[in-house]
Structures are given as structure tokens and as C-alpha cells.
Amino acid sequence: MIKLHDKYFKPFISAEEIDQALTRMAIEIANEVGDEIPVFVGILNGSFMVVSDFVKKYPKPCEVTFIKLASYEGVKSTEDIQRLIGLTQDLTGRTVVILEDIIDTGNTLAEVHRIFRNENVKSLKIATLFYKPAAYKKDFKLHYVGIEIPNKFIVGYGLDYDGLGRNLPEIYQIKQTEYMTNLVLFGPPGAGKGTQAEFLKEKYNLVHISTGDVFRYNIKNETALGVLAKSYMDKGELVPDQVTIDMLEAEVEKNTDANGFIFDGFPRTNAQAEALDKLMTSKDSQINAMIALEVDDEILVERLLGRGKTSGRADDADESIIRNRITEYYNKTAVLKDYYSAQNKYHGVDGVGSIEDITVRLSSVIDSL
Ligand code: AMP
């Protein structure tokens, strides 16, 4: 990942892929142009790398010239195209191929067509290395397209973000800023994760996902997932990883507009932690911190037995099941402390005290992130 000014960008298209696309385009254009000597017209500034690499691959004689237009301000393509340097030679009767680095809205292309309207060229063809079909708003024909890309801002290989990035030999794509704050609330059963998550989600405007709650909802509604999960939960065992991971991913997908998430009761195994990292990366996001509530075992048993009197949860009613859940936590889940410590993301918080005191302790960790 790289940072240019205030924004982050991730690798998107390699130098090798660019090279292959240009080779294909050079062969295709040479075949169509035949024995004529074409004039390649690069649109500055962005196309300087494309033109340079393309003409080296062009297998026959050709001429090269440039015009200079400017359209981008920051990361938005603007309607207002400035003509900074126009045509400097007579192209009457010539076969002209415009070489663009990227076609996105098509506004620059409209200006190019305006420039050539009265030039009496023999033919005007448009070639572009990158093309964003979802952004294109014009109907000028694009004769040669290297690589189609989604409608996200890119830099590198001649393309800049406010002046920076043109020198990169490969293409980087802007990193989205959705899911800004993602917390894993950690701790043994009865540590108070659910209670604290209720306060934190309001305070930080986050979506709270409790895998235990989602399983219980499915059990109550007698879904296939609920029936499967119940057999494990009733004994205080963990539900198999793949089932839990698939369910968690579906919950995240439901909340595309979220500011971020509080994951409560997930991950509980290394496989789940790895799956969560992968999921966050695919969203251009990450887990910012694991905040662990630390509470003594005997206090946990006492709290859970107390909760069992009113919660109706079968796994809170029986002391041996409670102890099994705590054992499962130490056997399978506590190792995650190492997983997040290795990434410098582990924050232990004393989970004994009043609910308000513990919220204050958790908030001070979150505020310091
Ligand atoms: P909780 O409400 O977090 O205490 O979870 C209650 C029960 O749901 C656990 O004892 C497990 O059987 C099951 N469960 C919840 N989250 C997970 C998870 N991440 N992986 C496996 N099982 C889970």
C-alpha cells in the first residue's frame, strides 16, 4: 500500500499486465493501419508513459506528437477541460490515432473531437490503455481499448493524484474509506462484551455483530443454521468454523454503509481471525484493535449463573456447561491474544467494576487508536 497526500492506494495492475496490453494494442493498430504512417497523438500529461512505451512496441514507422489538456481536480473528473497546448502541426489527410492513458467520463475525449473537427484528417481513431465503462457518459467510439477497469480512482503509470504518483511503473487503486473503525471485543463468556457493545455502538456509531446473538436468533426461528448451531451451543462447545465464518460474512455484507463494526464473540479461533482479516482486506479495511475484558473465572461463573436466572439461556443455567464454555475459551480462543498482540492490536482492560467504569476504560482505549 502507498500513501499520496492524504489518501491510501493499493496495488491494482502490474507493470507486466500493462506491458502485455500495450503489446496487444500495438499489433492490432499496426495491422489495421497497414502501410500508412500514422500520427500518434498523446494527451498530456497522463499519457506520456503510454505513448513512450507504446511507440517502442509499434513495429512500423510512425510519427508522434502531443496535445495538452487538463481535466482532473483531485480525484474527480471535471466537466471543464482546459486546452493548454493545442495541435502544433498540420494533420490534413493523415491517419491519426489518439493515445490516451485512461478514458473515464469521456469529457477529455469530447474536447479532442472538438480540436479535430476542422483538421480534415483522413481518419481519427481513439486508443486508450484504460477504460472505465461505468463512468463513460459519451458515445464517441473507442477503437482500441487495453484494459477495462471499474469506476474507482487510480494512480501510477502517468496518472496522478494532485501531482503525485505519475512515476509509478504500475497502477494503484484508491483505498475506500468505508468501515473505518473495526473493533474485536474480546474476553471469556460473562466478561460483559454484549453489555459494553451496546454502549460503544451508540457512542461510536458502529454496527454491533454478536455471533452468539445471531445463532440464538436462528435457533428461535428454527432455521437450518439454528438447528445445526443448537447442538453445539447447548453443550457449551464452539460451532464449526466454516459455519460461523459464512454467517459472519453475511452479517457484514448486510451493512455496507456501516462506519465500522464491533465484533463480539468473533473471532474465537485462529481460522476465524484469519478469515476476518481477509474479509476486512477485501473491503479495503482492517481490524483496528482487539479490546479484551479481563475477568477472573470465579466471577464469570457467578455472573453467568446470575444471568441464567433471567436470560432463559440454556447454556447459562448449568454450572458444568458454563465451566465448559470457559474451558473452550482458554483452549481455543485465548490464543487470539497472541494473534492480535503480534499485530500490536491487543489492548487488555480490567473487566471488573461498575458498567459505567468499564465503559470509560474501553472508551479511553478506542479514543487513543
Ligand atoms: P456467546 O453469546 O458469545 O457466549 O456465544 C454462545 C455460543 O454460541 C457459544 O458457546 C458457541 O457455541 C456459539 N458461538 C458464538 N460465537 C461463536 C464463534 N465465533 N465460533 C463458534 N461458536 C460460536
Q: What is d(CA 328, CA 265) in angstroms, rounded to the nearest whole number?
A: 13
Percentage of the chain exceeding pLDDT 70: 96
pLDDT of residue 283: 83
Q: Is the CB of 233 under 6 A from ligand 1?
A: yes
Q: Which domains does the chain have, with CATH numbers?
A: 2-174 (3.40.50.2020), 183-368 (3.40.50.300)
238 lines ligand 1 (CB under 6 A): yes
Q: Which of 185, 208, 211 to mutate to test the pocket of ligand 1 (most atoms within 8 A of CB)?
A: 211
Q: Quick one: pLDDT at residue 7?
A: 87
- Model confidence pLDDT, tens digit, residues 133-173: 999 989 999 999 999 999 889 999 999 999 999 999 999 99
**Protein residue whose Cα sits closest to atom 1 of ligand 1:** 212
Tell me the backbone φ, ψ of residue 10, rounded to 5 degrees. Answer: -115, 150
17-46: average pLDDT: 96
Task: Indicate yes or no: pTM above 0.95.
Answer: no
Centre a 10 Å sphere on the Cβ of residue 66 and count the other Cβ atoms it contains: 17
Cα three-residue angle 336-353-303, rounded to 5 degrees:
70
What is the structure's pLDDT at 75? 65
- pLDDT tens per residue, range 259-269: 899 999 999 99
Mutate to test the pocket of ligand 1, among 209, 213, 215, 300 (most ligand atoms within 8 A of CB): 215
d(CA 306, CA 317): 9
278-299: pLDDT as tens digits: 999 888 889 999 999 999 999 9
The DSSP code for 238 is P
Query: Rounded to whole angstroms, how far apart are CA atoms 344 and 176?
Result: 23
